[in-house]
Amino acid sequence: MRKVIARGFFLTFLFVIIAALYLYFLIGLPLRESWRAFYELTVSAVPIGWWILNTALLLGWTIAIWTHNLERSKEKVIEKRLSNILATDGDAYPKEKFTPRMDRTIETVSDLIHSQRKSLQRITDERAETQDQLIQERVVQERQRLARELHDSVSQQLFAASMLLSAITEGEEDAAAKVPLHQVERMVQQAQLEMRALLLHLRPAALKNKSLAEGLEELLVELKEKVLFDIRYRLEEVHLSKGAEDHLFRIAQETLSNTLRHAQATEVDILLVERDGLAILRVQDNGIGFKEVDEKTGSYGLQNVKERAIEIGATCKIVSVPSQGTIIEVKLPTLKGAESID
């Protein structure tokens, strides 16, 4: 508003000076006489100076207000365009045309904002990926630490308690006293199975530069030394990406962990082969099984197996018959261009 007032007074004074100069040069009156003519000459009984002053005021303030509104409208258009540049991505905003210089400046600002936005998004994504990687590394380290502590303390104590109970049971002559001792021994053995399943679950999923077959073989050889049931396996090299191999390895861990906890099996067969462009992982046991409508025991672990299979584009089939056992089979397309085993 202050600009409008200043501009109005300036234009009014300028028009009055121009009118005086016209009278001085065009009519030829001396300067003092020209100023006297402003109030001596009349039009409709009104001095000409009054007409000139009112006309100057009207023109000056009209031009001042008009230019102010014009500037305001231009500012609003520029503000709208800059707001659209900030609110949208790239060229998805209406392009009102200004002067070529203004258009080039706005385009430069738009390109700068767009490049800075992409750079910030890339830095944010890289930071999030780095943070996730650090978290995963810490989780793996913590799982390894827990596994070592459980193996060195709780697992060894359960094994010692089981051996002690076996010795007491064999030396006890009272048949009535043997019954609770046998029950305690079975509870300790079940706790051992739970502990082994937990240790198996805590084992890191990364294969550490090993193939899936090599990692599974190492896992199964180690597991055979700690469990009472028979483990048979047939493992072949399959052509999969690193991520798919890690997921299949984790699926095998989940499946074996469920078998240890709930199946009460005496035999487990593990198969890993490649047939007709498909990698097939199958785990079969002769345990107690479960009903599809009554799948409560171990359902969380089986749900994890299904979710992991979906993540790598695999199909997962689970077949279980009560008192006969369970079969879990995962099929995944191998890498294109790899030779399939006949």
- Looking at the structure, tell me whether residues 92 and 215 fall in a common domain: no
Question: Environment class of residue 89 by beta-carbon count within 10 Å: exposed (0-12), middle (13-18) or buried (19+)?
Answer: exposed
277 found inside a domain: yes
- Which residue segment(s) compose the domain that 89 sits in? 2-96
The pair of structure tokens assigned to 306 is 């299904």
For tokens 């006949």, name the residue: 342
Q: Write down the number of H helices and E strands in the chain.
A: 9, 7
| Residue that is last in its domain, among 51, 68, 96 | 96
6 found inside a domain: yes
CA distance 215 to 218: 5
Please name every residue paired with 47 in a beta bridge, in sequence order, or none if there are none: 42
- Looking at the structure, tell me whether residues 79 and 210 fall in a common domain: no
CA distance 195 to 208: 24
- Do residues 181 and 165 touch, judged by C-beta distance below 8 A? yes
pLDDT at 121: 75
341 found inside a domain: yes
pLDDT at 327: 94
| Residue that is last in its domain, among 96, 127, 147 | 96
pLDDT at 232: 93
Rg of the chain taking only CA atoms, in angstroms? 45
pLDDT at 144: 67
Q: Look up the CATH number of the domain holding residue 259.
A: 3.30.565.10
CA distance 82 to 257: 59
- Domain total in the chain: 2
| Residue that is last in its domain, among 79, 96, 113 | 96
**DSSP tag of 163:** H
Please name every residue paired with 284 in a beta bridge, in sequence order, or none if there are none: 269, 327
H or E, element range at 190? helix 175-202
Residue 229 — left, alpha, or beta (φ > 0 → left; ψ -120 to 50 → alpha)?
Answer: beta
pLDDT at 339: 42
- Do residues 281 and 271 touch, judged by C-beta distance below 8 A? yes
CA distance 120 to 116: 6
- Do residues 331 and 310 touch, judged by C-beta distance below 8 A? no
pLDDT at 338: 42
Question: Mean pLDDT by 10-residue block, N- to C-terminus, for the chain (342 residues)?
Answer: 80 78 64 59 68 80 85 80 70 60 80 80 79 73 66 66 72 67 72 65 65 88 79 92 88 85 87 92 91 54 86 90 91 68 39
80 found inside a domain: yes
